[in-house]
Structure 1
Amino acid sequence: MAISVDTFFLSPKAHGTLQAQIQQMIAEGILSGRFHVGEKLPSSRKLAMHLGISRITVTLAYTELLANDYLTSRGRSGYYVSENAPVPPSYTPPEKSDETVDWSKAMARQFTGGDTPRKPQDWRDYKYPFIYGQADPSLFDHANWRLCALRALGQKDFAALTTDYFDQDDPLLIEYIARHTLPRRGITARPEEILITLGAQNALWLVSQILLSQQRKAAIEDPCYYTLRDQLVHSRCQIDAIAVDRDGLPPEHITDDTDVIFTTPSHQSPTTATMPMERRRALLDRARDIDAVIVEDDYEFEMSFLSAPSPALKSLDRDGRVVYVGSFSKSLFPGLRLGYLVGSEPFIRQARALRANVLRHPPGHIQRTVAYFLSLGHYDAQIRRTAKKLHQRRTVMEEAITEHGLTIAGRGVYGGSSIWMQADPSVDMATVARSLMPQSVLVEPGAPFFAEKNRQHNYYRLGYSSIAQNRIEPGLALLAKALLPT
């Protein structure tokens, strides 16, 4: 029996080369049981015409499947599903057993709930995705990233690829961060003072585990990065949420019994406020007076397209009391999950040991790929290209916001990739956001950023890192219509 050519189609969302897509279609058909042993595949000419691709592409795909024993060739008769092809498993899920464990009592701690929201997994299918922190494929340097990844997989880098570093990191990546990335923020650090993490979120978790306990107190900004607040709740420390103003975190509101101060001085999350130099020095003085440690999350400093950013708080630190958190997730892509911690050697030593106990180290081939991408100049080129595009989008967004009568609550002095917005106090942005989804508009409600005691529902964040420039104004028109009905 022959397999109909109509069984095959190319999905516009598929990844990989055409040859790989054809191989995957046939392999999945066999493994799922749709294609049976002995069934004949369409001829390469017929399948190529059906899919509108080159015949040689189909032939190469068939040849690869033949080599892997998925297909067999019968002279001039064509290709058939091989008798040696993997047999789809016959699996019947067992009936649910009568569990006797009361998990509500068995679990010492629970980690569900919290304020951290989830972005829709299908956000790319939305026409107007005003969401923050997602990558734009049109801006990413796929070609050079692929070359760096292939180089990292080469024989020369076999040790970097396969070595169990235990509590260490790729020396090439550490060297680049120490010699190039940190000096741009005015920071000087030795390799012993740098630790690679699985993104900024992992870095903040390591910090909270080491510096905080039930007997200690953390000061956080309000509003702030919601995942940080969730992490601190799980650490069971005392939390003091301090309202930020137009200049960020006010040092005078930090109480004397505070042990750790979390702050985003260069680009406050989410209001985008930038802390002036005078207040930065005052914050350092306040931390010194009460003998507290400061944790500086310096996200998005690369996205400074309006003017050069202020030096990092860490660069002003002479006491060694600032722990610096950086990340490549916003500047490259969030799925990379690679960041770094910079701090005094005694602290980094403990962070290194804790990381080793939990996950040993981030994958070596990922670290080496990033090291090549940075050291060969591709990273800086992408930053310049991305910053230019974000500047254009922000200009369009600000013009559209003015045109449609929307209200800006905060925008980064140096740039960034989002604008903090404010609706009428009577508006619940979570409700508005849900009502806009059927119109293919995604906006991010601001309530989760606020501490529960001071939760405000009329704020929202508009990201512009992953929305096409020509869709900004039409999307904001729909948002304005939902907020300001005529």
Structure 2
Amino acid sequence: MSISLETFFLDPSTEGTLQARIQQMVAQGILAGRFRSGERLPSSRKMAEHLGVSRITVTLAYTELVADDYLTSRGRSGYFVSDNAPEPPAFTAQRARTTTVDWNRALGHRYSDGLGMQKPSDWAQYKYPFIYGQADPTLFDTANWRLCALQALGKRDFAALTADYFDGDDPQLIEFIARQTLPRRGILASPDEILVTMGAQNALWITAQILLTQRRRAATEDPCYPALRSILTQARCQLSHIPVDSNGLPPDLLPRDTDVVFTTPSHQCPTSATMPVARRKALLERAERDDFLVVEDDYEFEMAFLGAPSPSLKSLDDTGRVIYVGSFSKSLFPGLRLGYLVGPAPFIHEARALRASVLRHAPGHIQRTVAYFLSLGHYDALVRRTSKAYHDRRQVIDAALAAEGITVAGEGAYGGSSVWLRAPAQINTTLLAQHLRDKGVLIEPGAPFFAGDSPPQNYFRLAYSSIGPKRITEGVALIGQAMREMM
């Protein structure tokens, strides 16, 4: 039996090449049970005429479907649905019409309240996206990343692609981190002191799970990264919020019973303040005196375009009290979700065991692709190009903010990708953000960064990582206009 031509049409909502869309169209028909084993498909010529595409495109699509055993070729008779093609389920899928579960009682723990910040998934559709942490397609080296990914898919790297490392990591990536990345921050570490994580946030979660209990006290900066506050809340530890100043976290304000301090000394999140070397040394002296550990989140250290970055806390630590968190997700792209932990071997041993019990390890193919991208010099070239672009954008946004009279409350001493701003006291920046979205402008209200039930409402953050210089000036002008209207 032949399948009618009228059965086939290309869904305009599908993406990909014409060949891929034709493959998808036929495969979905088989999976849905519309096309049965042994039924004959239209010839490539008739299908091409019907769909308005070239015959070779249809032939190539049919050939791929034969390779995947959806179709079979019978010489001059044409293409047929294979006897080995996937069978549709013999039962009808359905969902429960109602629920008798009281989920308020059934949920033992709640995590949704700690999400804090929300960023629109369609941020790239806005004309003025001052959103932090998103990749700029005009800066990223897509071509060389693709080549590295293809190289990682090669036969020589088959084991790296398919093997279960259990609690291990790609040795090539670990070697590069140890020999190239960490020495730039003044850190020397052996492979048993390094663990690859699914981004910096995963590294912070692992650290909190290992070091904190209900009886221990953690101290974090205020304001700080909202997801970190959520992680520490989930750890059910005693928590102290330490107000930061223009130099970051003041060590003198730490409670004497502190067990673990979480800090962002290079670029305080979100104020971008940089902790001076003298204060870094004072923090380490206090850690030794009061016997606590320090977790250093060294995000964005690569984006140093105004001056050389300060030495990392880890590089100043000669007693093994600092656990270092790094990330490639900020310097490459956020969807990569690849970071690393550096600490004493006993800590990394436990971190490796915890990671193995939750997600085993980061995907081998991603680790090997990053290893190639780093070792072939593409990463350094990308960092230089990105730093130059950020430098140009920083000059533009500084001038635009000055022209609009908007107060800068914090900015990175040697670079970064955002500025921390303070609006007049009577302006609620959450309402300001809602108003600006209608004008195509996205900003980040500052309230979620603060602890407590009554956080300041007049702070906000502008990032310049995902918006070009021309639009920066236009967008800041719209922000200034909206603030004057709200006044």
Per the TM superposition, whether the score is higher than 0.5 is yes
Q: How does 1:95-174 map to 2 (within 5 A)?
A: 95-96=96-97, 98-99=99-100, 101-174=101-174
Matched with 2:478 is: 478
How far is the alpha carbon of 1:158 from its aligned partner? 2.1
2: CA distance between counterparts of 1:318 and 1:306? 29
Deviations 1:274-308 (A, max 9, x none): 01111111111111111110000000111112222
Matched with 1:306 is: 306
The answer to whether residue 5 in structure 2 is matched with residue 2 in structure 1 is yes
Equivalent residue of 1:484, what SS?
A: helix
Equivalent residue of 2:239, what SS?
A: strand
The answer to whether residue 48 in structure 2 is matched with residue 44 in structure 1 is yes
User: Which stretch shows the higher mean deviation, 358-367 or 372-381?
Assistant: 358-367
Answer yes or no: is the 8 Å Cα contact 1:295–1:324 preserved in 2: yes
Alpha-carbon distance change, 76 to 122 in structure 1, aligned in 2, over 3 angstroms: farther
Equivalent residue of 1:241, what SS?
A: strand
Equivalent residue of 2:438, what SS?
A: helix
1: CA distance between counterparts of 2:395 and 2:299? 22
Matched with 1:189 is: 189
For 1:407, the aligned partner's letter is T
For 2:97, the aligned partner's letter is K
Deviations 1:150-198 (A, max 9, x none): 2222221222222222222111111100000000001111111111111
Equivalent residue of 1:109, what SS?
A: coil
Answer yes or no: is the 8 Å Cα contact 2:206–2:355 preserved in 1: yes
Answer yes or no: is the 8 Å Cα contact 2:10–2:51 preserved in 1: no
1: CA distance between counterparts of 2:198 and 2:120? 22
Alpha-carbon distance change, 206 to 60 in structure 1, aligned in 2, over 3 angstroms: same
The answer to whether residue 403 in structure 2 is matched with residue 421 in structure 1 is no
Deviations 1:433-468 (A, max 9, x none): 122223222111110000015611111111121223
Matched with 1:366 is: 366
How far is the alpha carbon of 1:343 from its aligned partner? 0.7
1: CA distance between counterparts of 2:405 and 2:59? 58
For 1:209, the aligned partner's letter is Q
Equivalent residue of 2:352, what SS?
A: helix
Matched with 2:271 is: 271
Alpha-carbon RMSD across the aligned residues, in angstroms, is: 2.8
Relative to the length of structure 2, the TM-score reads: 0.89
Deviations 1:387-443 (A, max 9, x none): 122222222222222223322211111111111111111111111112222322211
User: Which stretch shows the higher mean deviation, 401-410 or 292-301?
Assistant: 401-410
Relative to the length of structure 1, the TM-score reads: 0.89
Alpha-carbon distance change, 228 to 266 in structure 1, aligned in 2, over 3 angstroms: same
2: CA distance between counterparts of 1:430 and 1:78? 63
Answer yes or no: is the 8 Å Cα contact 1:116–1:226 preserved in 2: yes
Deviations 1:313-357 (A, max 9, x none): 110001100000000010111111111111111111111121122
Q: How does 1:21-36 map to 2 (within 5 A)?
A: 21-24=21-24, 27-28=27-28, 31=31
Matched with 1:399 is: 399
For 1:2, the aligned partner's letter is L
Matched with 1:91 is: 92
How far is the alpha carbon of 1:68 from its aligned partner? 4.4
Alpha-carbon distance change, 60 to 347 in structure 1, aligned in 2, over 3 angstroms: same
Alpha-carbon distance change, 403 to 77 in structure 1, aligned in 2, over 3 angstroms: farther
Q: Provide structure 1 residue ranges, at least 5 long, that are not aligned to the other structure.
A: none
Alpha-carbon distance change, 215 to 406 in structure 1, aligned in 2, over 3 angstroms: same
1: CA distance between counterparts of 2:286 and 2:97? 58
Answer yes or no: is the 8 Å Cα contact 2:10–2:22 preserved in 1: no
2: CA distance between counterparts of 1:76 and 1:122? 49
Deviations 1:83-135 (A, max 9, x none): 98767667342443553x54433433221212532211122222221111111
Alpha-carbon distance change, 58 to 256 in structure 1, aligned in 2, over 3 angstroms: same
Answer yes or no: is the 8 Å Cα contact 2:10–2:25 preserved in 1: no
Deviations 1:206-247 (A, max 9, x none): 111111111111111000011000011111111110110000
2: CA distance between counterparts of 1:58 and 1:481? 55
Alpha-carbon distance change, 46 to 381 in structure 1, aligned in 2, over 3 angstroms: farther
The answer to whether residue 355 in structure 2 is matched with residue 352 in structure 1 is no
Q: Percent identity?
A: 62
For 2:277, the aligned partner's letter is M
1: CA distance between counterparts of 2:67 and 2:273? 59
Alpha-carbon distance change, 222 to 395 in structure 1, aligned in 2, over 3 angstroms: same
Q: How does 1:65-80 map to 2 (within 5 A)?
A: 65=65, 67-68=67-68
